[in-house]
Chains A and B, each alone.
Chain A
């Protein structure tokens, strides 16, 4: 089973600041890495698929990059509504697995 490790676990950020979250896979997964946003008491929402492709309706301040084992989710100019926990997910190898999550708090 592929283990996804995110860093940091928690980040406190001021509005308009840039946020960078990383996800490292225990073995190569190509570009089959996806990012989700989960706000409190809500279900996850897909932000980025295949490492760098924005999903429909997602604001342009969210972007993704990486391939192989190292991936990054970037939020440019953080807004208050971006307070959430962010998860990465790999679909390259069964079973699909998720990272432990990165909680982003607004200062």
Chain B
């Protein structure tokens, strides 16, 4: 059974870098039919796609965040990671990782982790 689990600090200071890791179990992250994605949900706001990565390391990002985002993948550990730099209070959100069919629907999601940006 496929499971995705986010991990990382729940509190990040303004101007610092947010770092999260998603550990995948029950499926190989080296799938040729799936991307691996990060999505966030600020309190009371709609979901926002951050970016996605293929097992080869190929990435594509939301242009609104592209200058601050880096997504990487470690196939040996079946994990992929998110780094978001220069964070502000506006980056406070629940962050989800998900498996994405090609570049289409998000088929399975992690439980989500709340990251608060505050000094």
A residues touching B (Cβ–Cβ < 8 Å)?
32, 34, 36, 42-46, 49-50, 55, 87, 89, 91, 94-101
User: Chain B binding site: helix, strand, loop or mixed by DSSP?
Assistant: loop
| Bound Cα distance A100, B111 (Å) | 20
18 CB contacts below 8 A, A to B, read: A32-B104, A34-B105, A43-B110, A44-B106, A45-B109, A46-B105, A50-B104, A55-B105, A87-B46, A89-B106, A91-B103, A91-B104, A91-B105, A95-B49, A98-B46, A98-B48, A98-B49, A100-B46
Kindly identify, within residues 99 to 114 of chain B, every residue whose CB is under 8 Å from any CB belonging to chain A: 101, 103-112
B residues touching A (Cβ–Cβ < 8 Å)?
46-49, 60, 62-64, 96, 101, 103-112
Decide if A44 touches B109 in the complex (CB within 8 Å).
yes
Decide if A95 touches B62 in the complex (CB within 8 Å).
yes
| Bound Cα distance A98, B107 (Å) | 15
Q: Beyond the given A89-B47, A95-B63, could you list 4 further A-B residue pairs with CB under 8 A, ordered by the A residue number? A: A43-B110, A44-B47, A46-B107, A98-B46
Decide if A49 touches B105 in the complex (CB within 8 Å).
yes
Q: Which residue on B lies nearest to A42, using beta carbons? A: B111
Decide if A94 touches B60 in the complex (CB within 8 Å).
yes
Q: Which of B62, B101, B105 has the most CB of A within 10 A?
A: B105
